[in-house]
A and B are shown apart, each in its own frame.
Chain A
């Protein structure tokens, strides 16, 4: 199991076990992380699954696709350097122990 710590918009923490190969959004939503609404169920169409990754994880993943880039500009919480749509991020074993922030609108 891969464990990821989410910091919710109010600052509280939630430890989430994530499955290899599923999306970060699915892991967060399954655990009821506050702020991951994920209205479009992972279609990269709603921008309600916005997270901020640690810099080194963000760098490792490579650039988001053009559509996600566009969508991130319209998320409720202002976009940050390491912002991603969590539905577009696959969980991998090297993510065990990372801290992911759900930004505040």
Chain B
């Protein structure tokens, strides 16, 4: 069974969060949506593991339930 990491795993959380927002700066809503979609695809490919992805989808869709 592949675990989905839901414990803190990013060093420098505030910096990362700022970078995430910065990436969207100056974009229209449509451009931001497109960026998000590209980002999801890039990250999903990086994870690769289908079981981890399935859990991530479940955790995003129903936060707090056991499925993840």
Asked if A pairs with B, the answer is: no
